[in-house]
Amino acid sequence: MRYLTCLLLWVFPRVWGQWEDQLKNYPLRCLQISSFPNSSSFRTDGLAWLGDVQTHSWRNASTVSFLKPWSHGKLSDQQWQTLEHILQVYRTSFTRDIQELVKMLPIIHYPIEMQVSAGCEVHSGNTSENFFNVASQGQHILSFQGTSFQKAPDAPPWTELAIKVLNTDQGTRETIQQLLNDTCPQVLYGLLEAGKAELDKQEKPVAWLSSVLSPRHGHLQLVCHVSGFYPQPVWVMWTQGEQEQNSTQRGDILPNADGTWYLRATLDVEAGEEAGLACRVKHSSLGGQDIILYWADGRHSSYVVFIILAVLILVVGLGLGFVFISRNRCSYRSIR
Ligand X SMILES: *[C@@H]1O[C@H](CO)[C@@H](O)[C@H](O)[C@H]1NC(C)=O
Binding site residues, ligand X, CB under 6 A: 37-38, 40-41, 43, 60-61, 126, 146-147, 177-178, 181-182, 185-186, 243, 246
Host H or E run for residue 39: none
Nearest Cα to Cα of residue 199 among 33, 24, 327: 24
Give the nearer residue to ligand X in terms of CB position, either 187 or 263. Answer: 187
C-alpha triplet 76, 78, 79: angle, nearest 5°: 65
Q: How far apart are CA 200 and CA 293, in angstroms?
A: 27
| CB 64, min distance to ligand X, A | 13
| CB 91, min distance to ligand X, A | 7
Q: How far apart are CA 117 and CA 82, in angstroms?
A: 21
Give the nearer residue to ligand X in terms of CB position, either 65 or 326. Answer: 65
Give the nearer residue to ligand X in terms of CB position, either 148 or 256. Answer: 148
Host H or E run for residue 302: helix 298-335
Give the nearer residue to ligand X in terms of CB position, either 55 or 186. Answer: 186
| CB 240, min distance to ligand X, A | 8
| CB 3, min distance to ligand X, A | 30
Q: How far apart are CA 181 and CA 173, in angstroms?
A: 12
Nearest Cα to Cα of residue 97 among 149, 156, 146, 154: 149
Give the nearer residue to ligand X in terms of CB position, either 263 or 277. Answer: 277
Query: Would you say 73 and 83 are in contact if contact means Cβ atoms under 8 Å apart?
Result: no
Angle between helices 77-104 and 159-168 (to 10 degrees): 130
Helix (H, G, I), strand (E, B) or coil at 334: helix
| CB 146, min distance to ligand X, A | 4
Give the nearer residue to ligand X in terms of CB position, either 38 or 328. Answer: 38
Please state, as a whole number, how many other Cβ atoms lie within 10 Å of the Cβ of residue 84. 13
Q: How far apart are CA 75 and CA 86, in angstroms?
A: 15
| CB 121, min distance to ligand X, A | 13
| CB 247, min distance to ligand X, A | 7
Which amino acid, one-letter code, is at 242?
E
Q: How far apart are CA 336 and CA 299, in angstroms?
A: 55
Give the nearer residue to ligand X in terms of CB position, either 5 or 246. Answer: 246
Q: CA separation (Å) from 205 to 19, 264, 266, 268, 294?
A: 24, 12, 17, 23, 17
| CB 196, min distance to ligand X, A | 17
